[in-house]
């Protein structure tokens, strides 16, 4: 399985998306400060993920989330959960 995931920084509230074949390990990697793009934003919470059988499908979805249309989609989907995520 391949997963696309969205992380939210507890520090500044910004979102980060990526893909991986091991979601738990990747989250630990991000929170340990080993990922350049997120190391200044730790701690991070997993706020959304989707699973795919094929890597190409996961990378295509990740590309969508990194585009404006995808960011707007995530804001709409996660809007109902922001209050819970801030706790």
Per the structure, the complete domain to which residue 48 belongs is given by: 2-85
Quickly state the pLDDT bin for 1 (edges 50, 70, 90): very high
CATH number at residue 34: 3.40.1440
Quickly state the pLDDT bin for 77 (edges 50, 70, 90): confident
pTM of the predicted protein model? 0.86
- The closest of 70, 78, 68, 72 to 46, measured between CA atoms, is 78
pLDDT tens, position by position, 15-40: 999 999 999 999 999 999 999 999 99
CB proximity list for 54: less than 8 A, separation 6 or greater:
2
Tokens read off for 16: 């980060």
Domain total for the chain?
1
CB proximity list for 23: less than 8 A, separation 6 or greater:
3, 5, 46, 49
């Amino acid at each position: 399985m391949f997963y696309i995931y969205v992380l939210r920084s507890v520090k500044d509230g910004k979102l980060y998306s990526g893909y991986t074949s091991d979601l738990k390990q990747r989250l630990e990697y991000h929170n340990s400060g080993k990922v350049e793009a997120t190391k200044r934003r730790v701690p991070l919470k997993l706020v959304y993920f989707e699973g795919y059988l094929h890597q190409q499908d996961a990378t295509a979805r990740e590309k969508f989330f990194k585009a404006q249309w995808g960011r707007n989609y995530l804001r709409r989907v996660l809007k109902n959960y922001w209050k819970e995520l801030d706790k």
